[in-house]
Structure 1
């Protein structure tokens, strides 16, 4: 799991009963506790797939769904009967098990491929893609292809218009995000889903344009339902308890999220910020619940230590790269003297990359001098990447082990991948924002996840607002900005 992937995390317990909380917090915890069991039993309206579930719809059910869906593609957007049919299809999909959902998507793709009614050919009521969409809708597309695309877009717009007033039904926009998440999971199994996904991604690129999103702080006083989502969606450092969450939202911390006006209680992406006197070197210190509060009058650094996308269905829709820039602006308004911004980030792909390397490739990366030091201290070097991974324990005090691991990590971050596209997803995000690879930190994340992903290492990406554009240009030229300390490792 990368720092930018959505994830489901479970909270272990609410605050202890001895915690001095007021009536509002007590009632909040009571509501959360009463819902916790239900949420774990049936998470997020995704019914558990039982062994006896039918893997496909019956012939009669498929015929009924075809008849239900066709007017959703063919009729005008103002057609009340077609809108009601689309809402009924949404309700049935939300209530279905996963095998039935997959079968429903198969029918949907079939009907969409044949949607060529009069409304589709007119195209005047359905809108069009943005110019940035991929070549599937280029000027060379046939009139029939354009008509089919307009019919598909009309179907999605019909669903998006649904406000989901029922407690058991999501608003149409949120439902489409969940629908696309299923499309992304099953597009290899269900013929015809790819074109639906492309149309939906293009619509999302417009509907979730950064100019339409709202940046809002999340605090300890935010609604309990929003705090629960923060716990579930945290994808980098698991929130272990309500005390842990309270620590992350304390007075020397900040948390910001992007929201869509149609989904005011559903964060799309959020970042957690810590104020510290110097650039952070390990996450254990940042998340220490016993650490004293920082004096905000003397704070020098803002550290972005966790960034989490929350919606798998918005994959490919770019708004995360605006988040940190907007947050930096907000922090500078609140703290005019604050000038230094950096991340403390994981290297989620490092271990997998190293495991796949041949021994000769690693030897080339390390060079003769480092290999000689390793041999003198530890004997014959490992013969392949898996062996090297086992030889680099996350908390080893040996300086040779430390230097070897940091050298391999520096190469992975800066040299692996295509020009302008680092192999590591978190590096790709931050360097694509114009950040600099500032420092690699040994024994920075000693959690089980940190050890497994990156031998416990983390990296600081430095954000200098006035240097972001220049750094981005260098990345495009295949020469990402790095500090001297990182350069010496290469």
Structure 2
């Protein structure tokens, strides 16, 4: 069976109609097998998964296209609707018959691909397969690939479509509703994965050097991207070092696979820089890394840690995007730490702002263009222009940043590369005073980005959206907190603290989800409204 499927799909996109029918028939067999029949679906599902996993990208996209077209039976839906429309509740046994008719309609409305996904999830190693399948689907959707593009690429002698970012753009998936079908398939996958990765099936585990299997620790090292491990010694320190914790969610159906994990530092004060929590440096700039490794991230001798800082949260599986296990992890780790460490009274993060620099550069470019008159004048018909889109207070903040960069001698093709490494020189002489102005302007703009830059009532920054949805409060912003190459490239060296207060988590979560209300401290809001000078308490 597996060989048969591989022969069908190896040619990928442009599949002969006869072979496509054979594949559809196999999918129909899985979807229509009686619910109590465990043998037939298991045999077919095993063939399907083994064949899929040997395919290259074009074949996988062709398979996803065919799977997404396994829809509800329109005729069956129509018949059920007709039965309900003509139903007479006054008939004998009317209530029971009505309930059966409704049940039949619900069953008829269920897409066939959803039944197939459900059967796959029940098979040995089925969850792992579905996570991988959804990762392929999300990647294809992000690249704007269509099965039609794949078909062209699969024809010998035909040039493949250019990659995203090339000279030409990849055609958009608009043919015959393909994009909508892929979105529906993704929704079905996400629903099924959300059921299987519910809290009742997840296991919270503290990972340790002594008791955690080496294979699992190797995966942790491989998956960590935010603050990569420098080696086994670094891993051991983060696992079992003084006041260090590492927790992960595991699933019994995916043994040895960390679904999401968080690293925690127990410290005596709310950290404001990365070196406050990392036991050993990720490659920081020489200025930022001043101090011995023993000092970095250490709690003062003799002081009992009162603050738990979540400084990196990693969700390595793209196929689980949108499945809310990260928020569950933080809440359960918080409860676990509160029970095991009674002295802890504050739970915060030290988080990056990964979308800030790209947002800032775009806003600066728009602002400069408006100032230069390239797009700052109203058109004759009164339509708003570029200048109208930039709020007056944002224009003030952007002007302040430009003036501060000029005064600090940092106006160049890429001024922000120089900002991070010099953050500790912001005191004393005239040059440092100029850098203080840069710092203040960047803090104002970062606060605006986090509090006011939204799309459909959701924060633009992905890390902010994650923590705000979980019920955290944005309490402070710190410049020069991470001067690593990545920290400067993505966040202009900024890091922020999100505070998790057990008594306000649910209120904040509800306000954010229902109306997009962002929970932030007064000092952060003052900066966002250009009402602060960057020296408020809680802003560094």
Tell me, yes or no, whether TM beats 0.5: yes
CA contact (8 A) 1:226 1:266 kept: yes
TM-score, length of structure 2 as denominator length: 0.68
CA contact (8 A) 1:109 1:196 kept: yes
Determine the structure 2 residue equivalent to 1:417.
454
CA contact (8 A) 1:204 1:314 kept: yes
Judged with a 3 Å threshold, the aligned counterparts in structure 2 of structure 1 residues 323 and 315 are, in CA distance, closer, same or farther, namely same
Determine helix, strand or coil for the equivalent of 1:488: helix
Tell me, in whole angstroms, the C-alpha distance in 1 between the residues paired with 2:453 and 2:202.
Answer: 34
Distance apart, 1:420 and its partner CA: 4.8
Single out whichever of 311-320 and 340-349 deviates more from structure 2: 311-320
Determine the structure 1 residue equivalent to 2:131.
177
Judged with a 3 Å threshold, the aligned counterparts in structure 2 of structure 1 residues 300 and 99 are, in CA distance, closer, same or farther, namely same
Task: Please say if 1:364 is aligned against 2:321.
Answer: no
CA contact (8 A) 1:116 1:151 kept: no
Judged with a 3 Å threshold, the aligned counterparts in structure 2 of structure 1 residues 241 and 388 are, in CA distance, closer, same or farther, namely same
Determine helix, strand or coil for the equivalent of 2:261: strand
Q: Deviations over 1:135-172 (max 9, x none)?
A: xxxxxx99788526253333122212221xxxxxxx01
2:194 to 192, 205, 216: 205
Task: Please say if 1:101 is aligned against 2:66.
Answer: no
Distance apart, 1:175 and its partner CA: 0.6
Judged with a 3 Å threshold, the aligned counterparts in structure 2 of structure 1 residues 73 and 445 are, in CA distance, closer, same or farther, namely same
Distance apart, 1:379 and its partner CA: 5.3
Task: Please say if 1:291 is aligned against 2:249.
Answer: no
Judged with a 3 Å threshold, the aligned counterparts in structure 2 of structure 1 residues 241 and 369 are, in CA distance, closer, same or farther, namely closer
Judged with a 3 Å threshold, the aligned counterparts in structure 2 of structure 1 residues 237 and 117 are, in CA distance, closer, same or farther, namely farther
CA contact (8 A) 2:308 2:346 kept: yes
Distance apart, 1:333 and its partner CA: 0.9
Tell me, in whole angstroms, the C-alpha distance in 2 between the residues paired with 1:83 and 1:424.
Answer: 43
Determine helix, strand or coil for the equivalent of 2:240: coil
Single out whichever of 96-105 and 190-199 deviates more from structure 2: 190-199
Higher relative contact order (Cα pairs below 8 Å, separated by 6+ residues): 1
CA contact (8 A) 2:72 2:112 kept: no
Determine helix, strand or coil for the equivalent of 1:465: coil
CA contact (8 A) 2:471 2:507 kept: yes
Judged with a 3 Å threshold, the aligned counterparts in structure 2 of structure 1 residues 145 and 467 are, in CA distance, closer, same or farther, namely closer
Q: How large is the RMSD of aligned CA atoms in angstroms? A: 3.5
TM-score, length of structure 1 as denominator length: 0.74
Determine the structure 2 residue equivalent to 1:229.
219
Single out whichever of 399-408 and 292-301 deviates more from structure 2: 292-301
Judged with a 3 Å threshold, the aligned counterparts in structure 2 of structure 1 residues 183 and 391 are, in CA distance, closer, same or farther, namely closer
Tell me, in whole angstroms, the C-alpha distance in 1 between the residues paired with 2:355 and 2:401.
Answer: 27
Distance apart, 1:108 and its partner CA: 2.6
Q: Deviations over 1:69-116 (max 9, x none)?
A: 221122223442343122101101111111111122233334x13768
CA contact (8 A) 2:307 2:345 kept: yes
CA contact (8 A) 1:419 1:477 kept: no
CA contact (8 A) 1:431 1:480 kept: yes
Distance apart, 1:399 and its partner CA: 0.7
Distance apart, 1:226 and its partner CA: 1.0
Determine the structure 1 residue equivalent to 2:71.
113
CA contact (8 A) 1:258 1:323 kept: yes
2:479 to 442, 453, 456: 442
Determine the structure 1 residue equivalent to 2:350.
344
Larger Rg: 2
Q: Deviations over 1:21-59 (max 9, x none)?
A: xxxxxxxxxxxxxxxxxxxxxxxxxxxxxxxx8543653
Judged with a 3 Å threshold, the aligned counterparts in structure 2 of structure 1 residues 274 and 423 are, in CA distance, closer, same or farther, namely same
Determine helix, strand or coil for the equivalent of 1:439: strand
Tell me, in whole angstroms, the C-alpha distance in 2 between the residues paired with 1:54 and 1:154.
Answer: 27
Where does structure 1 lack aligned partners over 5 or more consecutive residues? 1-52, 123-140, 164-170
Determine helix, strand or coil for the equivalent of 2:114: helix
Tell me, in whole angstroms, the C-alpha distance in 1 between the residues paired with 2:395 and 2:67.
Answer: 56
What is the total number of aligned residue pairs between the two structures? 409
2:493 to 449, 456, 460: 456
CA contact (8 A) 1:57 1:104 kept: no
CA contact (8 A) 2:405 2:415 kept: no
Tell me, in whole angstroms, the C-alpha distance in 2 between the residues paired with 1:113 and 1:478.
Answer: 34
Judged with a 3 Å threshold, the aligned counterparts in structure 2 of structure 1 residues 381 and 261 are, in CA distance, closer, same or farther, namely same
Where does structure 2 lack aligned partners over 5 or more consecutive residues? 1-9, 81-101, 148-177, 281-292, 368-386, 424-434, 529-540
Q: Deviations over 1:355-394 (max 9, x none)?
A: 22121677834565884696377259999xx978648722
CA contact (8 A) 1:74 1:116 kept: no
Distance apart, 1:297 and its partner CA: 6.5
Distance apart, 1:406 and its partner CA: 1.0
Tell me, in whole angstroms, the C-alpha distance in 1 between the residues paired with 2:232 and 2:219.
Answer: 12
Judged with a 3 Å threshold, the aligned counterparts in structure 2 of structure 1 residues 61 and 418 are, in CA distance, closer, same or farther, namely closer
Task: Please say if 1:488 is aligned against 2:477.
Answer: no
Determine the structure 2 residue equivalent to 1:378.
406
Determine helix, strand or coil for the equivalent of 1:274: strand
Determine the structure 2 residue equivalent to 1:159.
120
Tell me, in whole angstroms, the C-alpha distance in 2 between the residues paired with 1:471 and 1:459.
Answer: 18
Determine the structure 1 residue equivalent to 2:89.
none
Determine the structure 1 residue equivalent to 2:444.
407
Distance apart, 1:338 and its partner CA: 0.8
CA contact (8 A) 2:68 2:113 kept: no
Residues 245-256 of structure 1 mapped to structure 2, 5 A cutoff: 245-251=235-241, 252-256=243-247
Determine the structure 2 residue equivalent to 1:396.
422
Single out whichever of 74-83 and 386-395 deviates more from structure 2: 386-395
